[in-house]
Amino acid sequence: MIFEVYNNGSICKDFTLYGACVFGVDRIPLRNSASIKFKQGRIECRTRNNEPAGISLLWPVEGFGNILLHTTRLPDRPRPYILNVELARAKLMEITMKREDWAVFEQTPTLAKTAGQAQQLFIEALQNINDPAKASTLADKSLQKALDFSEKLTTRHAELLFEARRKSRGFTRSSLGCGIDPRKLTSKNYLKGVLELFAHIAIPVNWATIETSKGEYDFSHLDSSIEAFAQKRLVLCAGPLLCFSADYLPKWLLESRPQFEQIRDAAYKFVSKVVTRYARHIHTWKTITGMNAYNYFRFGFDRILEITRTACLAAREADNRSLKIIEIVSPWGEYYADNPDTVPPWVYLDMVTQAGINFDAVGVQLIFGKNKPGMYVRDMMQISAMLDRFAAVPKPLHITSVAVPDSSKIDGQRCEHAGMWHKPWDQNVQAEWLERFYRIALSKPFVNTVTYHSLADTEDDYLIGAGLLTEKMEPKKSFMTVARLQKQILHKT
């Protein structure tokens, strides 16, 4: 497939592919991202057996930001497509589908005008398709209007459902949560920030740092965390108990080159040990995290299921009272294009459900603002549409980690590399994004909790500047935004 790329009506001479991925049926990425090339104003990419496919990539939209967008699935053909036109087509199709899903047909005069302009500009682009420069310019304007409309429509729909849920008292004190850093619990201001705002605390667990030698456990960080919060009448969540990323696997296990049975037995023993030790304090366990994307030992499908079952079984046998969550990461599945040892997120969820594995809820991580698969910035309609897919999963949903940064000046987080939402990231944009996201997420009746990634900035955090407090424990605007929302859902304002 070939796409011509235009910028302000002229063929692009210089364009860097960030987040580029070719996808097929159900938006599952095809494993050929390395074959996507930009050369002389064209993007060339291979499809599988000439089947219809689409492309997603980070795309600048004047007045809106730098957003990961996608085309529709298109048939292979010798003549190049105009990328600008296809991105506009896909966004307009997404709007049409979500309006039908949400049954939102009545519009304010302003919204109706914006929608009409987007549609008319796209029609004009198609009428001028034989003049690519003109067609691309019209398509760019159509996409601007379409994104503006989609965001306002998503916000309007969410506000209606959010207010209905709030008035019916569909929220609890623990609906909003926050992840903590055990290293900072000695700070009075840090503890004050946690207890002042949240009744739901996420305590990290890392097998690598706990079982430093086989059979030898260091529970000091976990013990201090539990001690700090155990008597505070809080809902405590801990995990992940298991995660098969190298950072979460103990060194002794990595060095021993184990067989699967040894890995499974070691995992079972560790989960049992941790859950038994803290069962009377922890209400929710993130039993296994990211098995769809993190697969250090290169398990096949059957073993992915078996290790997931092992984690859930060990946790339930040690504590039958608490909630057991299976957590997925990168729910759009871009990682699958480059890693053959992974499973698309929805395939993994379907596998786990069909296999009859005994778990209580699904968790999902949503972290944006970094030049990594799954972390490129998206518009709010895409996020809302992705969350809607969980309505078909026969388990409640917990957003177990959400974050965006307050700065785009750091390598790997620059707007041109990772994306931006309306403006370059700062404290104001971070706060505004969170306000919009929380209302959209909590408008979904199947979303039980939303947990923010980290309370305070940390120099070695995966996403720099993602905290609600600065490193000096001063509240950011995002902290105040979440505080206002917490009061609102508890009917204190």
Domain co-membership, 387 together with 320: yes
442 and 375 together in one domain = yes
Evaluate whether 313 touches 321 at the Cβ level (below 8 Å): no
Please give the average pLDDT of every successive group of 10 residues along the chain, which has 493 residues: 96 94 92 82 86 95 97 93 98 95 82 93 98 98 97 95 94 95 92 93 97 94 92 94 97 94 97 97 98 97 97 97 97 94 96 96 98 96 97 96 95 94 97 98 97 93 93 96 94 65
Of 114, 129, 162, the domain-final residue: 162
Q: Are residues 413 and 368 in the same domain?
A: yes
Domain with 101, as residue range(s), is 2-162
Q: What is the pTM of this model?
A: 0.96
Residue 104 has a pLDDT of 81
Helix spans in 78-108 (H): 83-102
pLDDT tens digits, residue range 216-243?
Answer: 999 999 999 999 998 888 999 999 999 9
Together in a domain, 153 and 238: no
| Token pair listed for 341 | 């040892």
Indicate whether 371 and 254 sit together in one domain.
yes
Q: Residue 240, preceding bond cis, omega within 30 degrees?
A: yes
Task: Give the length of the chain.
Answer: 493
The strand pair at 10-11 and 6-7 is best described as antiparallel
pLDDT score for 34: 63
If you write DSSP's letter for every residue of 411-457 in order, what string do you get? TT--HHHH-EESB---HHHHHHHHHHHHHHHHTSTTEEEEEES-SB-
Asked if 251 and 208 touch (Cβ cutoff 8 Å), the reply is yes
Q: Are residues 10 and 141 in the same domain?
A: yes
Last residue of a domain, one of 94, 129, 162: 162
d(CA 134, CA 126) in angstroms, rounded, equals: 10
- Structurally, the chain folds into a number of domains equal to 2
Residue 109: what pLDDT?
Answer: 84
Q: What is the pLDDT of residue 51?
A: 86
Q: Among 142, 162, 182, which residue terminates a domain?
A: 162
DSSP 185: T
Map residue 364 onto helix, strand or coil: strand
Q: What is the CATH number for 483?
A: 3.20.20.80
| φ, ψ dihedrals at 281, nearest 5° | -110, -35
Phi, psi (deg, nearest 5) at residue 81: -85, 160
Query: Which stretches does DSSP call E strand in 153-290?
Result: 176-179, 200-204, 235-239, 242-243, 284-289
Edge to edge, the sheet with strand 420-421 lists: 21-23, 54-61, 65-70, 420-421
Q: Say whether both 262 and 410 belong to one domain.
A: yes
pLDDT at 107: 73
Structure tokens at 276: 């038994």
How many whole angstroms separate alpha carbon 295 and alpha carbon 314?
Answer: 20
Count CB atoms within 10 A of the CB of residue 227. Answer: 11
Pair 132, 7: CB distance under 8 Å:
no
For residues 391 and 276, state if they share a domain: yes
Interval 167-186: pLDDT, tens: 999 999 899 999 999 999 99
- Say if residue 147 is in the same domain as residue 113: yes
Q: What is the pLDDT of residue 459?
A: 84
Q: Are residues 113 and 218 part of one domain?
A: no
Residues 337 and 210 in one domain: yes
Cβ proximity of 243 and 290 under 8 Å: yes
In order of 300, 451, 456, the CA distances from 183 in angstroms are 37, 19, 11
Q: Do 174 and 132 share a structural domain?
A: no
Residue 2: CB atoms within 10 A of its CB come to 14
Of 429, 445, 335, 433, the residue nearest 387 (C-alpha): 445
pLDDT for the residue numbered 400: 98
SS (H, E, C) 375-399: CCCCCHHHHHHHHHHHHHCCCCEEE
Using alpha carbons, select from 241, 348, 242 the residue that is nearest to residue 301: 348
